[in-house]
Amino acid sequence: MRLSVGPLLYLWDRPGVFAFYRQLAQLPVDIVYLGEVVCSKRRVLRRADWIAIGRDLSAAGKEVVVSTLALMEAESELSSLAHTVAMADLIEANDMAAVQLLRDRPFVAGPHLNVYNTATLSLLSSLGMRRWVAPVELDTATLAALLGERPPGLEAEVFAYGRMPLAFSARCFSARVRRRHKDDCGFVCAEDVDGLTVHTREGEPLLALNGIQTQSAQVRNLIGRVDVLARAGVDVLRLSPHSSAAVRFEEVAGAFRSALDSHARSAPCPPTALPGGYCEEYVHTATVSGAGPAR
């Protein structure tokens, strides 16, 4: 299996973004996804900046993929999407508008396309899909059944580390909780470099607000499931970045690389400082073998 680093889901300052990707060029990961997935207003980096970062990562031997928005709401976003598709060799499509623009070109189907059956996998494969990122809520048995009937040559990628992306909304939760309007948000989401944790009335971490995106409060960590995912047919494990205040990302990447190289059931992973801690949500099943195909 290979390791990927997903797109940065949070609004970090410009120096912090450049510093992260400079460090990433030296880490033992194979694939790096770049670009904005959550909110089109987040323009800390210009298109030229992303091109320069991608060039440096390619020179360091990484496969570079440019990710698109998960929720398209305006004509201007469609225009920006067309420019993005034209500039990059490989795109992660997170909205069907991107799939339409990428017809007959190789592309990655992102987790936000919500693909759950072999018929959709076959359709997207016929349009050019070369890798599928499974939705986070697929359990291992269902995933294995789907991959058992996948189209020839299709790779599968699983979200293996990070706060799980659960939903998107036209509303901006980060602005609303601070009594701001979405159109005049002041980029308040930058104050929450790993999302804003929402607690239950009992004080338990439940969710995380990240602009228009809702995430899990807990950090999904599947390092103890590497062997199970390999048997299910997974080709790529995705690590989602967090700030250095939450975890030392270079240690996370090193731990996952060690687990993959040694085919270990578990490997030490640095603890996260985020309130929710670690979890293995959605992946638990009694067995991987013997599951019928999902249709």
Q: Is 214 helix (H, G, I), strand (E, B) or coil?
A: strand
Strand-pairing partners, residue 155, are: 131
What pLDDT does residue 291 have?
38
Return the ∠ at Cα 265 (arms to 263 and 270), rounded to 5°. 100
Cβ contacts of 138 within 8 Å, gap of 6 or more: 116, 146, 282
Angstrom distance (rounded) from CA 142 to CA 218: 23
- Give the per-residue pLDDT at 268: 80
Q: What is the pLDDT of residue 74?
A: 87
> 36-87, pLDDT tens digit by residue?
999 999 988 988 899 999 999 999 999 999 999 999 888 889 999 998 888 8
The CATH number of the structural domain formed by 2-279 is 3.20.20.70
Give the Cα separation of 98 and 35 in Å (integer).
14
The list of the chain residues with pLDDT below 70 reads: 263-267, 285-295
The dihedrals phi and psi of 225, each to the nearest 5 degrees, come to -115, 15
Structure tokens at 29: 């990961």
Q: SS3 of 168, please?
A: strand
Three-state SS for 272? Answer: coil
The letter for the amino acid at 91 is: I
> What does the pLDDT read at residue 266?
56
* Inter-residue contact 215 to 276 (CB < 8 Å): no
> Which phi-psi region, left, alpha or beta, contains residue 246 (left: φ > 0; alpha: ψ -120 to 50)?
alpha
Domains of the chain: which residue ranges?
2-279
Q: ∠51-56-61 over CA atoms, to 5°?
A: 120
Report helix, strand or coil for 171.
Answer: coil
What DSSP state is assigned to residue 206?
Answer: E
